[in-house]
Amino acid sequence: MTDAAELKARTQALLAEHPPAETDRLDFLRARFDAGLAWVHYPVGLGGLDAPRSLQAVVDAELAAAGAPDNDPRRIGIGLGMAAPTLLAYGSDEVKSRFLKPLWTGEEVWCQLFSEPGAGSDLAALGTRAVRDDGGTSRSNEAGSGGDWVVDGQKVWTSSAHTARWAILIARTDPDLPKHRGITYFVCDMTDPGVEVRPLRQITGEAEFNEVFLTGVRIPDAHRLGEVGDGWRVAQTTLMNERVSIGGARIPREGGMIGKAAAVWRDRPDLRTHALHRRLLDLWVDAEVARLTGERLRQQLVAGQPGPEGSAMKLGFARLNQAISGLEVELLADEGLLYGDWTMVRPDLVDFTGRDAGYRYLRSKGNSIEGGTTEVLLNIVAERVLGLPPEPRNDKDVPWKDLAR
């Protein structure tokens, strides 16, 4: 079994062969992937070494000390945190070989085509249709012999759709089955002529999210993940990893939102009051508890796929961000009402800490919607963590076509 000493030796060999100061950034990242040092717990040949997940920190520390470039993980977070685990679990050998390397190096950005305007928080009620067309001709040379699927529908709240090359997509393939059973999971080419991406302007003034219209989009059957009709089960892998990637990111003590609020308190003694101090202390403790809980969750991940605990982390992340950003605005008093740049832009990534307090306050409102609404996550925690009785669901066995919409 690969151990820390072997990983250090492999990392030093990579650095010797590809000195970061003398190697093109993308060339270095490709070499790192080929050496199995991208994500060490992945299989050999797919950027890993079948090593324990916990040993990734050994590689990262060695590379950081040498000044090696990273893959800009915030920009490609959907690919790393959601698409990659699903591709690994359900993709064919050809799919994994084709997609994982450019996903990890950041050469191809991914987005997630799940939410729909007609389904709301009930994702399983989605109506985007995928119809098999065995006689069709795909414009992709990767179609294989399984024919194509033709997809029509609309998706919404799609982060990074304006920059994405590929998307993970769920669509309804059998409307005669109950809503959870007639869904299939695909990889969608965002450059297909039937894909139209439109910006959605947010309260921050920018358009980080998008709505996506799919009209006659052809997807080769080779780009299907899992069995036909089993897309809901496949999607659970994506959703569980998504919530961990949003709520369980590794940050240092006093990192993230609480660090910005604490810095305002230290730098601006003229703004201090006893009541605000007490609230800041309470939130600082809550942030530290959340940070340590995230560390424990990541240790559990070493043993397998994330479970419902990730939903609890994401739930706490949203509530904490909103409370801290509200306190920061109050700490700044009149200055907290200022908003520096309400400009229509389409950013490549969300930067909470690099903007002003007004931006953080407005943007954090979306934390309780993205990656699973607070209401949905409360149900998951109640039923799957606490073991409480589930809510009555009278539509679980009703064919999707017969549901009221």
Domain extents for the chain? 4-65, 77-229, 237-385
Q: How many of the other CB atoms lie within 10 Å of CB of 311? A: 26
Q: Is the pLDDT of residue 395 over 50?
A: yes
Positive or negative torsion for Cα 256, 262, 268, 271: positive
Catalytic residue of the set 208, 211, 242, 309: 242
Amino acid occupying residue 8: K
**Is 242 designated active site?**
yes
Percentage above 70 pLDDT, the chain: 91
Question: Comparing 139 with 257, which gets the higher pLDDT?
Answer: 257
Beta partners for residue 154, in sequence order: 213
Token pair 């994405």 is found at: 164
User: And the tokens for 29?
Assistant: 């990242």
Amino acid occupying residue 223: H
pLDDT at 311: 77
- β-pair type (148-156, 129-133): antiparallel
- DSSP per-residue letters across 151-172: EEEEEES-TTTTT-SEEEEEEE
The arrangement of secondary structure in 77-229, i.e. its CATH architecture, is Beta Barrel (2.40)
Beta partners for residue 334, in sequence order: none
The arrangement of secondary structure in 237-385, i.e. its CATH architecture, is Up-down Bundle (1.20)
Q: Is the pLDDT of residue 139 over 50?
A: no
Q: Is the pLDDT of residue 137 over 60?
A: no
Q: Distance between alpha carbon 324 and the CA centroid of its chain, in Å?
A: 22
Q: Is the pLDDT of residue 249 over 70?
A: no
One fold for 77-229 and 237-385: no
pTM of the model: 0.88
pLDDT at 49: 97
Instruction: Please write the tens of the pLDDT for every residue from 316-371.
Output: 889 999 999 999 999 998 888 888 777 788 887 777 766 789 889 999 998 888 87
Question: Comparing 203 with 11, which gets the higher pLDDT?
Answer: 11
pLDDT at 138: 44
Lowest mean pLDDT among 117-131, 209-223, 233-247: 233-247
Instruction: Please write the tens of the pLDDT for every residue from 290-331.
Output: 888 877 776 666 555 566 777 788 888 899 999 999 999 999
